[in-house]
Amino acid sequence: MKALTIANVTLRRMVRDPLSLFFVFVFPLLLVLVIGATFGDGFQPRIGIVEGNGPTAEALAARLRALDGFTPRTVGSANEAADGVARGAYEAAIVIPNDGGNMLAVQVVVRQGSSARQIRTVIEGAVATEAASLRAADVLVAEGLRPNLRTALATVDRVEERVAGFSVVERSVDDSPNERPIGAFDLGAAQQLVLFTFLTSLSGGAALIQSRQWGVSRRMLATPTSAATVITGEALGRFGVAIVQALTIAVGSSLFFGVYWGPLLPAGIIIGLFAAVSAGASMLLGSLVDNDQQAGSLGVFLGLAAAALGGAMVPPEIFSPTMRNISHLLPHAWALDAFTEIVRRGGGVGDILIELGMLALFAVVILVAAATAFRKTLTTS
Amino acid sequence: MEEAATPLLVCSDIRKTYGDLVAVDDVSFHILPGETYGLLGPNGAGKTTTINIIAGILDADGGEVRVAGQPMNPRATRAKAAVGYVPQDIALYPDLTASENLVFFGRLVGLSGTTLKERTREILELTGLTSRAEDRTATFSGGMKRRLNIGIGLIHSPQLLILDEPTVGVDPQSRNAILESVDAMANNGMAVLYTTHYMEEAERLCDRIGIIDDGKIVAEGTQRELVEKLGGHDKLHIGITGHGQPAVNATAMLDCVIRVSLGDAAMELIVSDARSSLAEIVNTIVETGAEITGIEIEEPNLEAVFLHLTGKALRD
């Protein structure tokens, strides 16, 4: 119970500090917001549509505007559309020419880059589908089977619902057949989680130094409280800070952006073990450094460096084999591997035993080193 | 205070070394219930190390400390429950309120529920901080922090209160209030171990004093005992007009006078007991025809004893 009393004070002090509040609750969620708004499931490309004259052109424009997954904007001219795409006002534009001849040459305007290619592919698919329906409707009108394009299109739509069609599903050769389709932010969120959990914990090492500097830690020893209880309490407090940080990101990103974190049990174990590693690192830093301001700066530096090396700042996929090996000297890489397994491939606890074991090993080694160093600061004069 | 009472604190030959440095060298003393014991010594004499051993923060390398009959060491939770420790530096969380600090330390000493609530209220009242109970201590003045620092040591009504320089940096009004509180606690039966740099505090508060230097207790006793043990003498400054030499010669013949000298319009006499021999000395001077313009008695004090024993002033 006394250990919980000490841990409770650590958490209370954290929420009293406006700077801590910002970095624990606001800043990570701001990043989630920015990244989620850019790449998350809620992202809808803005498409400028230049509408040509004539019933076919107008019908195609109307059908494209009604498609799901795009935010359509009506644009006056092809030049205006090109300027808008160049400025970033739209992710792409579709220029529908006036009716005439037997070919309606629809133009798709995009920028260079892989995301533009993806958007172009999606738009081309949508245009092709709608164009096929329009051609079928044109045939019905031309053959005199329907009086006008509007009723002909309604007939085509009804027929399409009844007739079996074809669909194309794309799969990368690198992907396992069992992989779950993931949102663009799903794995980025895991990187945010390990980065901020470790970074916030290391920065929190300064609070332990303050407790020592203020003489509060020693004063605890003068009460009927053993050194082991004080150490446990301080470690639990730091564990609580790390858990609060991790859950803020996990729950916040899940609620606001639908980020998928995998099955609850393995995800919870990964978070718990990584929080234990972070708590140990925080206590170790707070025991080895004597100046709280130095510890704050050092904590940020070490936190960012560990995140960069551990694959939490750039996708680990771009690492060379050597760098991949080096990254696994850090707990971040193991935590990210575990998240990848449960998020992308639907793995359970049994599938990530090695990763969990490594995280547990990191936690034990760092916590024991931290407890030893902290005990030394408490019991030497 | 009864001599037959069982000591609440017994230190027997406690010793602590850091490498070649002997910080505490076979220190022994005891404190009775209701007694205030002053531990005086210059900086680096071993006071704080001794106190840390008595408070159970440090392990002694040798000897034994017993509090309320229980052996004291860093693992001795029963002995620690009898001790209230007030460190020299203000040891509070500045980002917690006064009542949160009291509740936190109250829980660590084993209080809970209504007892903790009641004691917190009482301590806030005792320290005059009731109106600031919910304010963060970072906003407190130095005196208020000192009072709360002491209050935390009292939260569980300990049998032994250890006060390590509790009035450093405190304004005179708060200082006086602290001294009165300590006096009142000792009168209520609490044993107090008190270290200070202020000699007048030791003289005012302490029933017995131990002088520590280089890790050793070099003298111990009541203030009077210490002065007498060291052969302390009173000093008389007597202002005179006219020729002083006959008066010097006449007083030098008196048994009670140990030494006499003549200064600028004043005599200085070293005597064994100024108050009992004053009348005889005055009569002798008047009989020589000199006229007395003023008399000042300077009794030997703790400061002089301290200086004599350690060769250092207390604030060195």
Give the model's pLDDT for residue A155.
86
Q: Phi-psi bin for B194: left (phi > 0), alpha (psi -120 to 50), beta?
A: beta
Q: Which of B212, B234, B236, B224 is nearest to B309 (CA)?
A: B212
- Name the pLDDT band for A192 (thresholds 50, 70, 90): confident
Taking residues B83-94, report their average pLDDT. 91
> Could you tell me which residue, A266 or A381, shows the higher pLDDT?
A266
Q: Which of A172, A153, A169, A170 is nearest to A161 (CA)?
A: A153
Taking residues A234-243, report their average pLDDT. 92
∠ CA(A164), CA(A169), CA(A170), 5° rounding? Answer: 160
Q: Which of B78, B73, B56, B5 is nearest to B35 (CA)?
A: B5
- Taking one residue from A and the other from B, the number of pairs with CB-CB distance under 8 angstroms is 81
With CB atoms and an 8 Å threshold, state whether A226 touches B75: yes
H runs (alpha helix) in B155-216: 172-187, 199-205
Tens-place pLDDT, residues B233-243 = 788 889 988 77
Confirm if A1 and A227 have CB atoms less than 8 A apart: no
Give B-chain residues touching A224 at CB under 8 angstroms: 77-78, 80-81, 108-110
Please report, for chain A, the start and end positions of each structural domain, with discontinuous segments joined by +: 2-39+183-379, 46-162
Taking residues A156-176, report their average pLDDT. 63
Tens-place pLDDT, residues A92-101 = 888 888 876 5
Q: Which among A2, A16, A222 has CB closest to B56?
A: A222
**How confident is the prediction for chain B on average, in pLDDT?**
87
With CB atoms and an 8 Å threshold, state whether A9 touches B96: yes
What letter represents residue B273's amino acid?
D
Q: Which among A1, A2, A218 has CB closest to B57?
A: A218
At a CB cut-off of 8 Å and minimum separation 6, what does A379 contact?
A221, A227, B57, B58, B59, B74
Tens-place pLDDT, residues A333-377 = 999 989 888 887 778 888 899 999 999 999 999 999 999 998 888
Give the model's pLDDT for residue A25.
78
- Name the pLDDT band for A173 (thresholds 50, 70, 90): very low
Please report, for chain B, the start and end positions of each structural domain, with discontinuous segments joined by +: 9-228, 233-299
With CB atoms and an 8 Å threshold, state whether A219 touches B87: yes
Q: Which of B70, B91, B93 is nearest to B158 (CA)?
A: B70
- Name the pLDDT band for A166 (thresholds 50, 70, 90): low
Give A-chain residues touching B52 at CB under 8 angstroms: 381
Q: Torsion angle, CA of A309/A310/A313/A318, rounded to 10 degrees?
A: 80
Report the residue of B48, B70, B77, B93 to disrupt the A interface, i.e. the one with the largest count of A CBs within 10 Å: B93
Reply yes or no on whether the pLDDT at A178 is more than 70. Answer: no
H runs (alpha helix) in B243-301: 245-252, 274-287
Give the model's pLDDT for residue A30.
78
- Name the pLDDT band for B118 (thresholds 50, 70, 90): very high
Please give the CATH topology (third level) of the domain spanning A46-162.
abc type-2 transporter like fold (3.40.1710)
Hey, which of A70-74, A326-330, B274-278 has the most confident mean pLDDT? A326-330
Reply yes or no on whether the pLDDT at A174 is more than 60. Answer: no
Give me the DSSP letters along A132-194. Answer: HHHHHHHHHHHTTSSSSHHHHHHHHHHHHHHS---------TTS-TTPPP--TTHHHHHHHHH
Which residue of chain B is at minimal alpha-carbon distance from A378? B57
Hey, which of A39-43, A68-72, A88-92, B72-76 has the most confident mean pLDDT? B72-76
Block residue for tokens 């399409």: A160
Q: Which among A6, A12, A222 has CB closest to B55?
A: A222
In this structure, what are the phi and psi dihedrals at residue A52, rounded to the nearest 5 degrees?
Answer: -80, 170
Taking residues B180-189, report their average pLDDT. 84
Report the residue of B89, B99, B107, B119 to disrupt the A interface, i.e. the one with the largest count of A CBs within 10 Å: B107
In this structure, what are the phi and psi dihedrals at residue A28, rounded to the nearest 5 degrees?
Answer: -60, -40
What does CATH list as the number for B9-228? 3.40.50.300
Report the residue of B18, B53, B108, B116 to disrupt the A interface, i.e. the one with the largest count of A CBs within 10 Å: B108
With CB atoms and an 8 Å threshold, state whether B93 touches A381: no
First and final C-alpha spacing in chain A:
27
Reply yes or no on whether the pLDDT at A42 is more than 70. Answer: no
Give the model's pLDDT for residue B2.
45
Give the model's pLDDT for residue A180.
57
- Helices A149-162, A55-65: axis angle to 10 degrees equals 40
Distance CA A326, CA A330 (A): 8
Report the residue of A2, A223, A232, A234 to disrupt the B interface, i.e. the one with the largest count of B CBs within 10 Å: A223
- Helices A186-203, A331-344: axis angle to 10 degrees equals 150
> Could you tell me which residue, B142 or A182, shows the higher pLDDT?
B142
Percent of chain B residues past pLDDT 70, beyond the cut:
95
ipTM over 0.90: no
With CB atoms and an 8 Å threshold, state whether A381 touches B58: yes
Reply yes or no on whether the pLDDT at A225 is more than 70. Answer: yes
Residue B26: burial class (beta carbons within 10 Å; 0-12, 13-18, 19+) = middle
With CB atoms and an 8 Å threshold, state whether B83 touches A220: no
At a CB cut-off of 8 Å and minimum separation 6, what does B301 contact?
B199, B203, B227
Reply yes or no on whether the pLDDT at B4 is more than 70. Answer: no
Ordered strands of the A46-50 beta sheet: A71-75, A46-50, A92-95, A107-110
Give B-chain residues touching A218 at CB under 8 angstroms: 57, 87, 91
Give the model's pLDDT for residue A118.
67
Reply yes or no on whether the pLDDT at A176 is more than 70. Answer: no
Distance CA B32, CA B48 (A): 21
The two structure tokens encoding residue B65 = 């400390």
Give the model's pLDDT for residue B230.
63
DSSP reduced 3-state for B254? coil
H runs (alpha helix) in chain A: 2-16, 18-21, 27-39, 55-65, 78-87, 114-142, 149-162, 186-203, 205-213, 216-222, 227-257, 264-288, 292-309, 321-327, 331-344, 353-379
Give the model's pLDDT for residue A101.
59
Percent of chain A residues past pLDDT 90, beyond the cut:
20
Taking residues B91-106, report their average pLDDT. 94
What does CATH list as the number for B233-299? 3.30.70.100
**How confident is the prediction for chain A on average, in pLDDT?**
82
Parallel/antiparallel/unpaired status of strands B9-18 and B62-67: antiparallel
Give me the DSSP letters along B25-71. Answer: EEEEEEE-TT-EEEEE--TTSSHHHHHHHHTTSS--SEEEEEETTEE
Reply yes or no on whether the pLDDT at A208 is more than 70. Answer: yes
What letter represents residue B247's amino acid?
A
> Could you tell me which residue, A52 or B65, shows the higher pLDDT?
B65
With CB atoms and an 8 Å threshold, state whether A214 touches B91: yes
Give the model's pLDDT for residue A103.
62
- Name the pLDDT band for A156 (thresholds 50, 70, 90): confident
Confirm if B266 and B238 have CB atoms less than 8 A apart: yes
Q: Which of A202, A205, A187 is nearest to A313 (CA)?
A: A187
- Name the pLDDT band for A179 (thresholds 50, 70, 90): low
Tens-place pLDDT, residues A25-38 = 778 777 767 766 66
Q: Which among B74, B89, B96 has CB closest to A221?
A: B74
Give A-chain residues touching B152 at CB under 8 angstroms: 219
Chain B residues interacting with chain A (CB cutoff of 8 angstroms):
18, 23, 48-49, 52, 55-59, 74-75, 77-78, 80-81, 83, 85, 87, 89-96, 100, 104-105, 107-110, 136, 152
Comparing A111-125, B101-115, B172-186, which segment has the lowest mean pLDDT?
A111-125
Sign of CA dihedral A299, A304, A305, A309: positive
Tens-place pLDDT, residues B274-316 = 888 889 999 999 888 888 999 988 777 777 777 767 766 555 4
